[in-house]
Structure 1
Amino acid sequence: MTRTVPPLFAQASAGIVSAPHFLAAEAGANILRCGGNAIEAAIAVGSTLAVVYPHMNGLGGDAFWLISDGNSETVRGLAAAGPAGQYYSPATFLDAHLHEIPFRGGRSALTVPGAVAGWGSAYEFSRNTWHGALSWGDLLEGAYLHAARGFPISPNQSATLARFAPDLREQPGFVQQYLPNGEVPIAGTLGTQYALSETLKTLAKEGADSFYQGSLAETMIRGLRAAGSLLTEADMSAFKTDWVEPLRVAFGDGEAINFPAPTQGVASLMILSLLDRLKADLGDHLSADFIHYNVEITKQVFQWRDRVVADPYFHDFDLQQLLQEGFLTDIAALIQPGRVLPTPDIGIGDGDTVWFGVADAAGRTVSVIQSLYHEFGCGVMAGDTGVIWNNRGCAFSLKTEQINGLEPGKRPFHTLNPAMYAENGRVQMAYGSMGGDGQPQTQAAILMRAKHFGLSPEEAVASPRWLYGRTWGERSAGLRLEHRYPKQVYADLQRWGHSLSWVPDYSDVMGHAGIVKSSTGLGYTFAAAADPRSDGGVMGVDVT
Structure 2
Amino acid sequence: MTVITPQKYAQATGGIVSAPHFLAAEAGGEVLRRGGNAIEAAIAVGSTLAVVYPHMNGLGGDAFWLISDGNSESAMGLAAAGPAGHKYSAHTFCDAHIQEIPFRGGRSALTVPGIVAGWGTAYDYSRNSWHGSLSWGDLLETAYEHALRGFPISPNQTATLTHYVPVLYKQPGFSHAFMPNGEIPKPDAVWPQKALGRTIKEIAENGPESFYQGYLAEKMIKGLRASGSLLTEKDMSSFRTEWMQPLRVPFGHGEVLNLPAPTQGLASLMILALLDRFKTSFEDHWGADFIHCSVEITKQVFGWRDQVIADPHYHDFDLSALLKASFLDDIAALIEPRHIQPSPALDTGAGDTVWFGVADATGRMVSVIQSLYHEFGCGVVAGDTGVLWNNRGCAFSLTPGHINILEPGKRPFHTLNPAMYAENKRVQLAYGTMGGDGQPQTQAAILMRAKHFGLSLAEAVASPRWLYGRTWGERNAGLRLEHRYPKQVYNDLQSWGHMVAWVPDYSDVMGHAGMVGFANAEKSTFAAATDPRSDGGVMGVDI
TM range (shorter): over 0.9
Output one character per residue of 1:34-78: Cα deviation in whole Å (capped at 9) or x when no partner: 110000000000000000000000000000000000111110000
User: Helix, strand or coil for the counterpart of 2:286?
Assistant: coil
Aligned equivalent of 1:314:
314
CA-CA distance at 1:522 after TM superposition: 6.4
1 CA distance for matches of 2:95 and 2:421?
A: 47
1 CA distance for matches of 2:504 and 2:269?
A: 28
Aligned equivalent of 1:225:
225
CA-CA distance at 1:524 after TM superposition: 3.7
Q: Say if 1:357 and 1:516, in contact at 8 Å, map to a contact too.
A: yes
CA-CA distance at 1:521 after TM superposition: 6.4
Aligned equivalent of 2:6:
6
CA-CA distance at 1:345 after TM superposition: 0.4
2 CA distance for matches of 1:523 and 1:92?
A: 55
1 CA distance for matches of 2:244 and 2:97?
A: 38
User: Helix, strand or coil for the counterpart of 2:185?
Assistant: coil
Output one character per residue of 1:147-201: Cα deviation in whole Å (capped at 9) or x when no partner: 0000000000000000001110000111111111111111011011000000000
Aligned equivalent of 1:110:
110
2 CA distance for matches of 1:509 and 1:30?
A: 31
Aligned equivalent of 2:393:
393
User: Helix, strand or coil for the counterpart of 1:10?
Assistant: strand
The within-5 A match list for 1:28-177 is 28-177=28-177
User: Helix, strand or coil for the counterpart of 1:367?
Assistant: strand
Q: Say if 1:362 and 1:524, in contact at 8 Å, map to a contact too.
A: no
Aligned equivalent of 2:445:
445
User: Helix, strand or coil for the counterpart of 1:541?
Assistant: strand
User: Helix, strand or coil for the counterpart of 1:176?
Assistant: helix
Q: Say if 1:361 and 1:524, in contact at 8 Å, map to a contact too.
A: no
Aligned equivalent of 2:328:
328
Aligned equivalent of 2:254:
254
CA-CA distance at 1:336 after TM superposition: 1.1
CA-CA distance at 1:430 after TM superposition: 0.2
User: How does the TM-score come out when normalised to structure 2?
Assistant: 0.99
The within-5 A match list for 1:196-235 is 196-235=196-235
CA-CA distance at 1:5 after TM superposition: 6.7
CA-CA distance at 1:400 after TM superposition: 2.5
Q: Which runs of 4+ in 1 moved over 3 A?
A: 519-524
Q: Say if 2:58 and 2:387, in contact at 8 Å, map to a contact too.
A: yes
Aligned equivalent of 1:482:
482
The within-5 A match list for 1:271-350 is 271-350=271-350
2 CA distance for matches of 1:85 and 1:137?
A: 30
Q: Say if 1:299 and 1:343, in contact at 8 Å, map to a contact too.
A: yes
2 CA distance for matches of 1:481 and 1:287?
A: 12
2 CA distance for matches of 1:201 and 1:434?
A: 28
1 CA distance for matches of 2:519 and 2:166?
A: 48
Q: Say if 2:263 and 2:414, in contact at 8 Å, map to a contact too.
A: yes
1 CA distance for matches of 2:129 and 2:418?
A: 21
Unpaired segments ≥5 residues, structure 1: none
Output one character per residue of 1:9-51: Cα deviation in whole Å (capped at 9) or x when no partner: 0000000000000000000000000110000000000000000
Equivalent pairs, count: 540
CA-CA distance at 1:381 after TM superposition: 0.4
1 CA distance for matches of 2:273 and 2:175?
A: 46
2 CA distance for matches of 1:465 and 1:521?
A: 27
Asked whether 1:515 is paired with 2:526, we answer no
Amino acid paired to 1:321: A
Aligned equivalent of 2:459:
459
Q: Say if 2:271 and 2:294, in contact at 8 Å, map to a contact too.
A: yes
Q: Say if 2:5 and 2:539, in contact at 8 Å, map to a contact too.
A: no
CA pair 137-336 structure 1, distance change in 2 beyond 3 A = same
Q: Say if 1:363 and 1:524, in contact at 8 Å, map to a contact too.
A: no
User: Helix, strand or coil for the counterpart of 2:341?
Assistant: coil
User: Helix, strand or coil for the counterpart of 2:327?
Assistant: helix
Q: Say if 1:5 and 1:537, in contact at 8 Å, map to a contact too.
A: no
1 CA distance for matches of 2:362 and 2:524?
A: 7
Asked whether 1:416 is paired with 2:416, we answer yes
User: Helix, strand or coil for the counterpart of 2:39?
Assistant: helix
CA pair 483-204 structure 1, distance change in 2 beyond 3 A = same
2 CA distance for matches of 1:373 and 1:408?
A: 20
Q: Say if 1:224 and 1:231, in contact at 8 Å, map to a contact too.
A: yes
Amino acid paired to 2:102: P
CA-CA distance at 1:523 after TM superposition: 5.8
2 CA distance for matches of 1:215 and 1:450?
A: 48
Q: Say if 2:355 and 2:368, in contact at 8 Å, map to a contact too.
A: yes
1 CA distance for matches of 2:70 and 2:507?
A: 34
Aligned equivalent of 1:434:
434
User: Helix, strand or coil for the counterpart of 1:498?
Assistant: coil
Q: Say if 1:5 and 1:22, in contact at 8 Å, map to a contact too.
A: no
User: Helix, strand or coil for the counterpart of 2:472?
Assistant: coil
Asked whether 1:190 is paired with 2:190, we answer yes
Output one character per residue of 1:300-350: Cα deviation in whole Å (capped at 9) or x when no partner: 000000000000000010100100111000000111110100111011011
User: Helix, strand or coil for the counterpart of 1:278?
Assistant: helix
User: Helix, strand or coil for the counterpart of 1:502?
Assistant: strand
Q: Which sits farther off after the overlay, 172-181 or 440-449? A: 172-181
User: Helix, strand or coil for the counterpart of 2:525?
Assistant: strand
User: Helix, strand or coil for the counterpart of 1:199?
Assistant: helix
Aligned equivalent of 2:17:
17
CA pair 415-496 structure 1, distance change in 2 beyond 3 A = same
Q: Say if 1:84 and 1:410, in contact at 8 Å, map to a contact too.
A: yes
Q: Say if 2:11 and 2:519, in contact at 8 Å, map to a contact too.
A: no
CA-CA distance at 1:280 after TM superposition: 1.5
Percent of aligned pairs sharing the same letter: 74
CA-CA distance at 1:283 after TM superposition: 2.3
Asked whether 1:267 is paired with 2:270, we answer no
CA-CA distance at 1:500 after TM superposition: 0.9
1 CA distance for matches of 2:332 and 2:91?
A: 42
2 CA distance for matches of 1:94 and 1:453?
A: 51
1 CA distance for matches of 2:19 and 2:509?
A: 18
